[in-house]
Amino acid sequence: MQDVTIYITDREGEKHTVLAPTDMAMNLMEVVRTYELAPEGTIGVCGGMAMCASCQCYVTSDHKINAMEDEEDAMLSEAFNVKENSRLSCQIPITEALNELEIELAPDV
Ligand code: FES
């Protein structure tokens, strides 16, 4: 499989169905940016280094995704609007296991 389907609800509450490639070493934040689902400058501010939380999302399906590393955990502990299911989308690599994943973008702060 080369592409996985991801359902992304943007900050306006609109749901998008997108295809994400598993063979391009992309992360979820880059997918959101590629499809321009959040205004430029409001997501991926640190370039995917787990240092800004602008890419925070809520995972609303029960997929098994990669566990959080310490940097992500630390960043989320300082971020706003954090929920149980919060993740930094830049820390989630696109893999086949993510097929039909559902996420919502956290509000821009
Ligand atoms: S892009 Fe900055 S934490 Fe994800």
Q: Do the beta carbons of residue 32 and residue 38 sit within 8 Å?
A: yes
Residue type, 92: I
Which whole number is the average pLDDT over 35-48?
Answer: 97
CA of residue 90 to ligand 1 center, whole Å: 6
User: Is 108 strand, coil or helix?
Assistant: coil
For residue 109, what pLDDT band results from cuts at 50, 70 and 90? Answer: confident
Q: How far apart are CA 39 and CA 26, in angstroms?
A: 19
Kindly report the pTM of this predicted structure: 0.96
In the prediction, which pLDDT does 1 show?
A: 67
Nearest-angstrom CA–CA distance, 74 and 26: 22
Query: 109: Cβ–Cβ under 8 A, 6 or more apart, which residues?
Result: 80, 81
Distance 88 CA to ligand 1 centre (A): 6
Q: Domain ranges for the chain, please list them.
A: 3-105
Helix and strand numbers, DSSP H then E, in the chain: 2, 5
Q: Ligand 1: distance of its center to the CA of 51 in Å?
A: 6
The ligand 1 atom at the shortest distance from the C-alpha of residue 50 is 3
- Segment 46-70 shows an average pLDDT of 97
Alpha-carbon distance of 53 to 38, in angstroms, equals 14
CATH ID of 3-105, from 3.40.50.720, 3.10.20.30, 3.40.50.1220, 3.30.1490.20 = 3.10.20.30
- Cβ(54) – ligand 1 distance below 6 Å: yes
